[in-house]
Amino acid sequence: MRNEVVLYSKEDATGFVTINRPEFKNPLNMSIFRALDKTLDEVAADEEVRVLIVTGAGNTFVAGADVNELLALDAQDGWRASRFQQSVFNKLERLRKPSIAAIDGFAMGGGLELALSCTFRIASTRAKLGFPELGLGIITAMGGTQRLVRTVGYSKASELILFRTIMSGEEACRIGLVNEVAEPDRLMEQAKGWARNLAALSPVAVRLELELLLNAMGQGFDAGLALESGLAPLAVASQEAKERLGAFLAKDKK
């Protein structure tokens, strides 16, 4: 419980990472990414921890990126931020330990990108998942485009991103975006059940299997990430994006 914006605890062989800005619906900012980066290093080095559960404080997983920070970015700063954010989510995906996103409430934009970086996703029946970025004049830039296509396929990924579709947990499960759905009061217990099942496996075999599964997705992923980082800052630095983001922030404060 050392970090203010990212909480970390352990229970038996399971680690728990909680994004902790519930008063703002847990938006991702650079402080969270820096804290998460250090926490993942700790998880990776701890042989007692065999599974990681990622969740959000309160009744929201992660509502998206911090709009205040986006408004302050120019193209160069945006590129650097995107590459660092991608590196943190890559570290989560390549942890060599299974990870489970326990999704309650909103998992929007960067929040859904965080969930997609986990091995598994369990959503509550009141979860809402989607990518609203295009409506704000920006694009996904934390690995979401690459991971979404590989999870649900090109056509469905295009629908979710271009039409800014907001999906329920049940619909997300139907298309394979999440693995399972639970009632809100059973969400964490269900995630813990999955964790106990995974923790009982050989950690060496699991590590090797995860490496094989990631490799099976094929080549070109890093090139796709680089392209996201090259294009996203151009969008966020545009005048239209500044206007739309500013309008969104003003509306949110009312």
Query: What are the tens digits of pLDDT across the range 201-234?
Result: 999 999 989 988 888 876 677 887 888 888 888 8
**What is the spatial distance between Cα 17 and Cα 1, in angstroms, rounded to a whole number?**
10
The pLDDT value recorded for residue 220 is 73
Tell whether the model's pLDDT for residue 102 goes beyond 60: yes
The pLDDT value recorded for residue 3 is 53
Task: Give Cα separations from 83 to 79, 86, 142, 143, 202 (angstroms).
Answer: 6, 5, 8, 9, 33
Structure tokens at 180: 């399972």
Query: With the C-alpha atoms ordered 1, 44, 111, 251, is the resulting torsion angle positive or negative?
Result: positive
Residue 235 covered by a domain:
no
Average pLDDT, the chain: 93
When divided into structural domains, the chain yields a total of 1
Nearest to 105 by CA among 160, 33, 57, 175: 57
Active-site residue flag, 209: no
Q: Which of 133, 170, 189, 228 is catalytic?
A: 133
Please compute the mean of the pLDDT values over residues 138-150 and round it to a whole number. 94
Active-site residue flag, 69: no
Tell whether the model's pLDDT for residue 110 goes beyond 60: yes
Range of the domain at 92: 6-185
CATH number where 47 lies: 3.90.226.10
Report the Cα 227 to chain-centroid distance in Å: 19
Q: Give the containing element (helix H, strand E) for 246.
A: helix 239-253
The pLDDT value recorded for residue 218 is 67
Query: What are the tens digits of pLDDT across the range 51-86?
Result: 999 999 999 999 999 999 999 989 999 999 999 999
Task: Give Cα separations from 76 to 58, 65, 118 (angstroms).
Answer: 34, 18, 28
DSSP 95: S
Q: Which of 11, 113, 170, 228 is catalytic?
A: 113
Residue 172 covered by a domain:
yes
Residue 34 covered by a domain:
yes
